[in-house]
């Protein structure tokens, strides 16, 4: 691919994509995140397509253009948990997840030009995550954890935790791709891009 664009503002996705060793630009999508689907894997696929198309449609359609859109959600007992609205909402989410197993879905869409034609490939990965049982005090302590900036670590993450930060202390085990929980199923993405 001659020109690769990541349609996401996520620093975690940027860092993960960088591990594939290719040059890319970051142009975050500003698309309204409205969904018509209910199944978790369909929701993330729909949102990733929305983000990728938003940026792809604004580019000059040159050979070798690739736009990558992605979205991650947490699903527990059929309920989709996105980013928390406030600390109380974060606590409610983490309270549900403590001592239980949930699923992290990441949808990825590749919009690309090959042989002068527009192509779209959408897929998802799912990782099973089990949390240790936690007391309310432990959950509030985690919610108070700040990242490098001043924002609480949990506030911009689906399911109100970041496995790559202090949230790792909540996790008993995972079954599947760790990077998928961070926000990008790197091994699958690398294989899909190679196949283009």
C-alpha to C-alpha distance for 180 and 177, rounded to whole angstroms? 5
Residue listed under structure tokens 């040159």:
62
Burial class (CB in 10 A: 0-12, 13-18, 19+), 149: exposed
C-alpha to C-alpha distance for 171 and 92, rounded to whole angstroms? 17
Q: What is residue 77's three-state secondary structure?
A: coil
Tokens of 105: 């879905």
Query: In sequence order, what are the residues at sequence separation of 6 or more whose Cβ sits closer than 8 angstroms to the Cβ of residue 5?
Result: 24, 25, 26, 27, 55, 56, 59, 65, 66, 67, 68
Told to judge if 136 belongs to the known catalytic residues of this protein, a careful annotator would answer: no
Tokens of 142: 């985690």
- Among the listed residues 23, 54, 57, 71, the single catalytic one is 71
Region of residue 176 (left: phi > 0; alpha: psi -120 to 50; beta: else): left
- Count CB atoms within 10 A of the CB of residue 45: 23
Q: Which residues are catalytic?
A: 71
């Amino acid at each position: 691919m001659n020109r690769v664009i990541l349609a996401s503002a996520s620093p975690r996705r940027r860092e993960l994509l960088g591990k594939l060793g290719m040059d890319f630009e970051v142009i975050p999508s500003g698309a309204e995140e409205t969904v018509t689907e209910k199944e978790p894997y369909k929701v993330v696929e729909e949102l990733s397509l929305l983000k990728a198309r938003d940026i792809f449609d604004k580019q000059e359609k040159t050979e070798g253009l690739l736009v990558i859109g992605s979205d991650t959600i947490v699903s527990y007992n059929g309920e989709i948990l996105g980013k928390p609205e406030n600390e109380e909402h974060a606590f409610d989410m983490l309270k549900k997840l403590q001592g239980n197993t949930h699923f992290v879905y990441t949808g990825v869409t590749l919009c690309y030009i090959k042989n002068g034609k527009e192509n779209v490939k959408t897929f998802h990965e799912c990782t099973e995550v089990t949390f240790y049982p936690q007391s309310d005090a432990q959950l509030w302590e985690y919610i108070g954890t700040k990242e490098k900036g001043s924002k609480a670590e949990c506030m911009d993450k689906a399911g109100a935790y970041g496995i790559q930060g202090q949230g790792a202390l909540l996790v008993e085990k995972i079954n599947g791709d760790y990077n998928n929980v961070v926000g990008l199923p790197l091994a699958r993405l690398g294989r899909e891009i190679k196949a283009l």
